[in-house]
């Protein structure tokens, strides 16, 4: 059987896993990427319903990987403003790139465009691709002390030995389970309904979000005249909305959005995904690390899921680069523990913050209703506070 030795084995080839493999390979490490199936190629004519509000720090990460220009030239819609308001009335929270001294607040980018460009860059960086392949078993030497390495057996018979294995294989991570790392989860009993829509008025390079009793409704600017929607609804309501005829769906969506952009018309299929909060109890076990959805799943109301995962990548890259510059052991237990502690603290704080916002805004209880419109209005009238919110979300 094949047995290959390397520095890093990354399990999971989505945006976070592929970015991790590429980032670490560019540090001169021997890296393998293991993925069950090759991601779909991006095509301009068939937009991916899964889009991200991509933050500036992660655009800088992709720029350093040499692929951001390719992403932007394909299709990355900059957004320069955000408008947030509540269905119960009160004030509005606004963010404006001009007032924050930025060219844009971020970009709306399709998931499969990012994976397409990342995967195209992997071979030239020397990343060994194992696809289609899945991890069947994992063993560690010195797992209790953090010494030794990791041995993986893949379902195609390949055996890999690595100094470090990284689980970036999603919320139901196989490698996380093999490493014995536990998670705590909370089901929001909501689903996010997604689609592309055309609007009567232009989106004005603005990301719009209205809080409704069932959950937030977001309109994200996509291409001129079109937006991507994420409509958070209780499970039963999501099922009902998905089953509506096109005209009825358009009317309900226009009304739910207060016709801020005029009449709305869906121009794609509709889909929905379940929402939950899931946090790993620990991010490291011996020489196995968790990142991305394998470590943390958060509510999508702030569009921060992929941004948090890519910040895991950037922190690990920086920690390893720092160790290399000092001729130190980049896989030492204390270095991995420090990375895990910083990431877990940041991600847990974000997850519970989003959880709290969702609880306050996604209900029609009288006291919460009175408070939230006032709170949005006050934040909107205090530019330093609004700037702080935005910089935190942008990783700056």
Average pLDDT along the chain, 396 residues, taken 10 residues at a time: 79 98 98 96 95 94 98 97 84 84 93 98 98 98 67 96 97 98 96 97 95 92 94 97 98 97 98 96 98 94 84 98 98 97 94 77 52 50 50 52
**pLDDT value at position 350?**
87
Instruction: Please give the order of strands across the beta sheet that includes 76-79.
Output: 51-54, 106-110, 76-79
Identify the pLDDT of residue 148: 76
Which residues face 386 on adjacent strands? none
Q: Is 24 helix (H, G, I), strand (E, B) or coil?
A: helix
- At 100 the pLDDT is 81
Q: How far is CA 208 from the centre of its chain?
A: 19
Task: Please report the pLDDT score of residue 14 as a whole number.
Answer: 98
According to the model, what pLDDT value does residue 369 have?
47
Alpha helices in 232-361 (DSSP H): 235-243, 246-256, 305-325, 333-361
Whole-number Å distance between alpha carbons of 125 and 233: 42
> Do 111 and 48 form a contact (C-beta atoms < 8 A)?
yes
CA distance 388 to 84: 16
Give me the helix-helix angle, 366-380 and 383-394, nearest 10°. 100
For tokens 């500036």, the residue is 56
Query: Cα separation of 187 and 207, whole Å?
Result: 26
**DSSP state for residue 131 in the 8-state scheme:** -
Q: What is the pLDDT of residue 355?
A: 80
Q: What is the pLDDT of residue 340?
A: 98
């Amino acid at each position: 059987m094949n047995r290959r030795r390397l520095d890093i084995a990354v399990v999971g080839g989505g945006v976070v896993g592929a970015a991790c493999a590429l980032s670490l390979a560019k540090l001169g490490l021997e890296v393998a990427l293991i993925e069950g199936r090759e991601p779909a190629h991006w095509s301009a004519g068939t937009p991916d319903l899964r889009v991200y509000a991509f933050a500036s720090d992660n655009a800088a990460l992709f720029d350093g990987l040499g692929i951001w220009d390719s992403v932007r030239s394909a299709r990355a819609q900059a957004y320069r403003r955000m408008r947030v308001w509540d269905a119960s009335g009160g004030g509005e929270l606004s963010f404006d790139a001009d007032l924050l001294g930025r060219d844009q607040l971020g970009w709306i980018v399709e998931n499969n465009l990012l994976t397409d460009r990342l995967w195209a860059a992997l071979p030239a960086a020397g990343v060994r691709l194992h696809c289609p392949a899945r991890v069947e078993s994992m063993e560690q030497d010195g797992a209790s002390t953090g010494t030794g390495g990791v041995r993986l057996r893949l379902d195609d018979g390949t055996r890999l030995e690595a100094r470090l294995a990284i689980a970036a294989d999603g919320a139901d991570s196989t490698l996380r389970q093999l490493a014995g790392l536990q998670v705590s989860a909370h089901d929001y009993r909501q689903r996010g309904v997604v689609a592309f829509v055309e609007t009567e008025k232009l989106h004005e390079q603005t990301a719009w979000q209205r809080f409704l009793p069932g959950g937030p409704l977001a309109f994200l600017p996509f291409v001129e005249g079109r937006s991507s929607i994420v409509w958070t609804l209780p499970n039963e309501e999501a099922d009902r909305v998905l089953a509506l005829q096109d005209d009825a769906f358009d009317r309900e969506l226009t009304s739910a959005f207060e016709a801020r952009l005029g009449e709305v018309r869906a121009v794609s299929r509709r889909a929905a995904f379940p929402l939950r909060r899931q946090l790993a109890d620990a991010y490291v076990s011996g020489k196995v690390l968790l990142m991305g959805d394998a470590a943390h799943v958060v509510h999508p109301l702030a569009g921060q899921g992929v941004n948090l995962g890519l910040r895991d990548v950037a922190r690990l890259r920086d920690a390893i680069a720092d160790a290399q510059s000092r001729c130190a052991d980049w896989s030492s237990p204390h270095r991995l523990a420090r990375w895990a502690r910083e990431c877990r603290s940041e991600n847990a704080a974000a997850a519970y913050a989003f959880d709290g916002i969702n609880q306050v805004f996604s209900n029609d209880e009288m006291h919460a209703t009175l408070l939230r419109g006032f709170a949005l209005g006050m934040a909107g009238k205090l530019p330093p506070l609004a700037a702080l919110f935005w910089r935190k979300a942008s990783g700056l």
